[in-house]
Each structure stands twice: as structure tokens, then as C-alpha cells.
Amino acid sequence: MDDPSARRLIRYGGSFFGETIVRARGSFVETAGGRRILDFTAGQICATLGHNHPRVAQAIRQALDEVVHLNSWMLSPPVLRLADALLATVPPPLDRAMFLSTGGESVEVAVRMAKLSTGRFEVASLTRSWHGLTGGVAALTLAAGRRGYGPVLPGGFALPAPYAYRCPIRHCDGACDCTCLEAGFDLFDQASVGSPAAVVAEPVLSAGGVIVPPPGYFARLAELCEARNMALVLDECQTGLGRLGAMYGFEIYGVVPDFLVLSKTLGGGIPIGAVVTTAAIEEVCHERGFVHVTSHVSDPLPAAAARAVLQVVRDEDLPGRARRAGERLLGHLWELQRRHEVVGDVRGMGLMCGLELVEDRDSRRPAERLGLALSEECERRGLSMNLVRGGTGGAANCLRMAPPLTVSDDEIDLAADILDSSLTTLRTAAPG
């Protein structure tokens, strides 16, 4: 990091980016030294409309003139209008919403409501999942951050992720047939103490290596949940609001969850999370004394920003844009796979794509050092991506690309050029 003050900050995982960022617009961030970097992480997958979108900026300015923050029981027009706008985007019976601050907090609320409404406490999540790191949801995040903090909440279960390139039950190769899901529920049923409450899942497992479940996966998961009276909680913190090429991932899979969780993409860079559920579940929870009051629940400023994001997503058909732009990006990545042996697998849906690096395609050994080297080389050439865990044993060998939904064709082509030239440069000295 170029600024010595960075040493005063608690390091919260990985290294800080090497240069200070002083400005951000659209798909680019700009360093103190004047370097423009193409941001294929959309901030932390939150800059849905690109950085500092004028409509979001305008909504924030208006909130500064009207009202920023309120007592948790006072409601304001931005929150009421956001509830109307958000619920207009989901199918029945989803028709109640609550607005919180972060993704972890929102998953937490969905799970608390699932426990309260079912009267049970066992919750399953997928291996390689990420649902947040705060106390309760840390039990459900299986991709990272588990060791060294003592016990997690009792009642957590793991279902094997449908990761066809490295099948967790050594059954499929390249095309998942959902046997992992059946096997996972066999294990769950044997280990359960008879208190099944919920399953929490991401429509595409993002931090766990951009794993795209096969068609039919979520329909079967919904059946398995229904058979046990478990609530299906879909965590669309990253995938919601168009990223996968539809407004929500659940539309693509043809299911309607009991709880939809949103955050990241909803705020366009401003912290806000949401839980959406049915009137029936809300009613039961309310009758049973549901309490989840936080300092920033129903705050007007983030709600105003989120409403602006929703309006732009709808007015500019950003789900359609994500679908077309995603096809372009995936086309480039497949071409890179044809030309570079180290690109073992290419995965993605809409504008959430990943490229898994291997030492060679026969052994599929995760090329972790190459992942880091490639990510650094791309950053030097002006492209930022997240390096996430794709391989076995927690190896970080997967580059995740999730640019703003407003990314242009030229920016996608530029990113592919940078990846290509970086791979070519590193090829001779491939560290493996």
C-alpha cells in the first residue's frame, strides 16, 4: 500500500490494494497517481450502476436536504416508496419487506424469521457458500473464515455444492445431475435431531468460485425443503437486481423462495440490505413477538439510494443488458480457454463470470500462485478482479469478474485484452 497510514488499519483479510483510490466513475476507479483501473469487481459487487451514478448521487443529495436517519419506528417516504417499488418486482406470495444495513444482517433476519415461524432451528447451507461473517450467519458461511473463532451456532449443516468441475461426491464430471443434492439431504436427514427450519443458498455461488447450479437444481431443492417444511432462503445479495440476466436468479430457475435476501447490488454502493417474505410468514412472526431492531433499520438515506438503483435497473433494462454483456464476456473467456492451457474451466451466468486456473488440464491441480500472479499482472495493466477460492483445499485460483451492469462492450473487450496479454506474459514463467 502506497500510504503509510494504512499500517494503522486492522488488516481484515488478504492485502490492501497497492495504491490509494481517489476517484471512481462508471466502470473505472482512479488512483492517486492518476492511473485508471477497470473495476471488474463493481466495488465489492455493489456498484450495480457503475461508480457514483448520477441518479444515486441525486437521491443522496435529496436525502441530505430532507431526512438522513430516523428513530427505528419512524417511517419516511423513501422507505415506503422503496417497499412499493421492490415488491412490484417480485411474484406473489412475496409481499412484505424489511430494510436493514448489510447482507450478513439481512440473511440473519431471514434465518431468525424462518426459525421463529417454523418453531425449529436446524439450517443447512451449501459448501463454498458465503452468507456473511457476523455471529449467526458465520455458521452458514462455509467458503472461508471458520477456523480460530470457537464454536458456531448449533444446528448448522452442509450440503455439497453442485461444483461439476470438481464434483464434491466424485460422481459427475462437467455436468452436474443433482446427485450431490440428494446425497446432501440423505446426510441431513440422518444427522438431524428433528428440527429442520431452513436451507440458505446463493443462486450462483460467487465467493466459492462462481459455481452455477444446473437447471432443475433449485426446483428440486424447493421440493426437498417443502417435504420437510423447511423455508427456502435465497441469498441474492450479489445476484439480485439483474446481475444474472434476469431481475432475480430465482426467476431463471423457476422457483419462488420463502425468503429473498438482497443487499450489495440494491444500494448501488450505499449500505442497505433487504428481506422479502410472504404476508403469512410475517404474520406468524409478528404474532410470536418477532424483534429485530437495529440502529439503521428503515433509514431514509439508503432507501432513497436503493430506490434510485431500482428505477435505473428497470428504466434501462439492466437485466437484459447483463445478459447480453455476459454473453460477450463469456465468449471472450471461452476463447481464452481455447488458447491458454492454464484456463481449466470457465463458468458464469450474466455478468458474474469466473475463470479457474489449473497447472494442467489433466491433473486439474489448482494453479494458486498463477492466480495471484495473474491478478497482480492484470492490476498492473489496469484491470481489477477478485481472486476467489475455486480449487480444492481452499486454493484461491479462480478470477471472478462481476463488473457494473452498465459496463460497455468496449470495456469488456479491453478487460479480455488485458487478461489475454497478461496470460501470455506469464505463460513462459508460469509459477503454477
Ligand X SMILES: Cc1ncc(COP(=O)(O)O)c(C=O)c1O
Binding site for ligand X (CB under 6 A): 102-104, 107, 130-132, 202, 206-207, 235, 237-238, 263
Residue 361 · residue 341 · CB < 8 Å: yes
Please list the alpha-helical segments (H only) found in 18-99: 42-45, 54-65, 77-87
Least distance from ligand X to the Cβ atom of residue 145, Å: 11
List Cβ neighbours of 147 (8 Å cut-off, separation of 6 or more): none
Least distance from ligand X to the Cβ atom of residue 236, Å: 8
Least distance from ligand X to the Cβ atom of residue 7, Å: 24
Catalytic pick among 235, 356, 359, 379: 235
Q: Which H/E stretch holds residue 417?
A: helix 409-427
The smaller minimum CB distance to ligand X, of residues 37 and 207, is found at 207
The smaller minimum CB distance to ligand X, of residues 142 and 423, is found at 142
The dihedral sign for the CA sequence 27, 402, 32, 56: positive
∠ CA(355), CA(358), CA(359), 5° rounding?
A: 150
Question: How many helices and strands (H and E) does the chain possess?
Answer: 12, 15
The smaller minimum CB distance to ligand X, of residues 108 and 368, is found at 108
Residue with cell 431443492: 221
Least distance from ligand X to the Cβ atom of residue 335, Å: 28
Backbone angles phi, psi at 156, to 5 degrees: -90, 140
Residue 224 · residue 231 · CB < 8 Å: no
Q: Exposed, middle or buried by CB within 10 Å (0-12, 13-18, 19+), for 20?
A: middle
Residue 371 · residue 387 · CB < 8 Å: yes
Catalytic pick among 228, 238, 321, 368: 238
The smaller minimum CB distance to ligand X, of residues 57 and 133, is found at 133
Least distance from ligand X to the Cβ atom of residue 162, Å: 16
Least distance from ligand X to the Cβ atom of residue 389, Å: 13
Catalytic pick among 115, 130, 347, 379: 130
The smaller minimum CB distance to ligand X, of residues 110 and 312, is found at 110
Least distance from ligand X to the Cβ atom of residue 143, Å: 9
Amino acid identity of residue 50, one-letter, is: G
Residue 115 bears catalytic tag: no
Residue 400 bears catalytic tag: yes
Residue 361 · residue 346 · CB < 8 Å: no
Name the residue number minimizing CB distance to ligand X: 103
Catalytic pick among 128, 228, 264, 307: 264
The smaller minimum CB distance to ligand X, of residues 200 and 418, is found at 200
Residue 264 bears catalytic tag: yes
Q: 409-427 and 368-381 helices cross at what angle (nearest 10)? A: 130
Cell digits of residue 217: 437444481
Distance CA 363, CA 281 (A): 49
The smaller minimum CB distance to ligand X, of residues 237 and 313, is found at 237
Catalytic pick among 39, 202, 236, 356: 202
Amino acid identity of residue 298, one-letter, is: S
Positions marked active-site = 130, 202, 235, 238, 264, 400
